[in-house]
Chain A
Amino acid sequence: MFTNRYIFIYASVMVILVAAILSSASMVLKPFQEANIKAEKIQGILASANIETDRAAADQTYQKYVVEELAVDSKGNVVSVFKNSKLEKGDLRPFDIDLKVQLNLKKEEAAGKAVNTPVWPIFIMEKDGERSYVVPVRGVGLWGPIWGNIAFKSDFNTIAGATFDHKGETPGLGAEINTSWFEDEFKDKTIFDNTGKFQSVKVVKGGVSNSNIPPAHGVDAISGGTITSNGVSDMLNDCLENYVPYIEKNK
């Protein structure tokens, strides 16, 4: 028979052994996993500006096209600049900014209890002499987070391309946001109207043509994916409005 003493020792040895195995596996595999996550982020940024790259070449392609990374605050001031592989201003590389953290800071700031002010990354790219600005966006869909990247043409008003992705939206409905037919709808939409007022781009249930939203600021929603579609609308509004002061300053 097994005594209590035996059982306690057995269980303790077992969990310590397992913990040691798992933490060493995690340490060994960490660099590979982080490289994957970084490559995915790069692919997202490049894809929004219509540059395709595979995972292995992501880093090189990124350095070729992205000429400058900026971080701006909500008043439109540039707080950090990363250029030619080194940080020229500020203390945080814009690429490493975690949008989720910044959006929380924004919420805290609105509630009047913020410690830090949020900063927003901009990736400036140059392809065939054409300048474009890519900004990341992040929001909530029906089941979990949704995120994406929006590329603007040199006027920082007209959308050159957009990519979206999601954690677990409904297949065939909300999950369609990461398909090309939905992403392509955003091309050539503008976020400012003729008077220069910020309008964002809305995802319209029932179709833009049946609504009173001008076609330049609206795209058709996904049937059956209303909550995800609204999530995309809110995400664009909440994230793009942060850049308005910067854009207006640099017109």
Chain B
Amino acid sequence: MSNKEPLFSAKNRRLLTTPLSKENPITIQVLGICSALAVTVKLEPAFVMAISVMAVLAFGNVIISLLRKTIAPRIRIIVQLVVIAALVILVDQVLKAFVYDVSKQLSVFVGLIITNCIIMGRFEAFAMSNKAWPSFLDGIGNAAGYGIILIVVAFFRELFGSGTIWGFKVIPEVFYEIGYKDNGLMILPPMALIVVGIIIWVQRSRDKELIEEN
């Protein structure tokens, strides 16, 4: 823990907030796309996925950060993988025990958190060279950046794909009677990619700094 600076110093606050926008893991670093496509058909699984990733990333960052001086560089990737795998299995078991329906919808994608590049990326880039508390914040921040995109995508896909929000019908029956139809394309993975693309577009046209020069 940092003794000299306050827990939520400006630097630490930045760890939480930059991944939400300027360093968003999905829209800027384009990591974790696979699961962003797969679990965003409905809001509820997307939300649980975001929380799961947050648990794995925050605690994983803390564990790696605490161990960082003992980890031999030659086996650091293996150590990181073991930590991720153990945490993911724990999360999966807990979901199966307490939110069985959601865990069924998420199916293999909980297990695939192991291969989510965001997690190993943060371990390598941040936790290996920072103290536990900033690492924890960094984990929360990055998972939140990932989660917020998941939730936004899931919101639009569920609304237009199934006419529901969090499982509740929001598009009135009258609309269906006069010929409105749910968009079947919305619940297929390609549409998630398009929605993510639109988010990236909107974000970059609002903040010109983010536009890459090629």
Contact = CB atoms under 8 A, between A and B. Distances in A.
A14 B82 contact: yes
A interface: dominant SS:
helix
Contact of B74 (A2, A29, A36, A40): A2
Task: Bin chain B's interface residue count.
Answer: 20 to 34
Task: Bin chain A's interface residue count.
Answer: 20 to 34
B97 A7 contact: no
A18 B86 contact: yes
Nearest to A8: B75
Contact of B94 (A7, A29, A167): A29
Given A7-B75, A25-B93, A172-B187, A36 B100 contact: yes
B198 interface: no
B72 A29 contact: no
B152 interface: no
B121 interface: no
A44 to B, nearest CB: 13
Contacts of A21: 86, 90
A2 B74 CA distance: 9
A113 to B, nearest CB: 33
Interface in B140-165: 161
A33 B100 CA distance: 8
A7 B78 CA distance: 11
B164 to A, nearest CB: 13
A40 B70 contact: no
Contact of B72 (A2, A22, A55, A168): A2
Contacts of B75: 7, 10-11
B190 to A, nearest CB: 12
Interface in B78-101: 78-79, 82, 86, 89-90, 93-94, 96-98, 100
A165 to B, nearest CB: 9
Interface in B83-137: 86, 89-90, 93-94, 96-98, 100, 107
B16 interface: no
Contact of B100 (A15, A26, A40): A40
Nearest to B72: A2
B86 A22 contact: yes
A171 B41 CA distance: 9
B113 to A, nearest CB: 15
A11 B187 contact: no
A181 interface: no
Contact of B90 (A2, A22, A170): A22
B184 interface: yes
15 contacts: A2-B72, A6-B72, A7-B72, A7-B75, A11-B75, A14-B82, A21-B90, A22-B90, A25-B90, A29-B93, A33-B96, A36-B97, A37-B100, A167-B107, A172-B188
Interface of A: 2, 6-7, 10-11, 14-15, 18, 21-22, 25-26, 29, 32-33, 36-37, 40, 55, 167-168, 170-172
Interface of B: 41, 70-75, 78-79, 82, 86, 89-90, 93-94, 96-98, 100, 107, 161, 184, 187-188
Given A11-B75, A25-B93, 15 more contacts: A2-B74, A6-B72, A11-B78, A11-B79, A14-B82, A15-B82, A18-B82, A22-B86, A25-B89, A29-B97, A33-B100, A36-B97, A37-B100, A171-B187, A171-B188
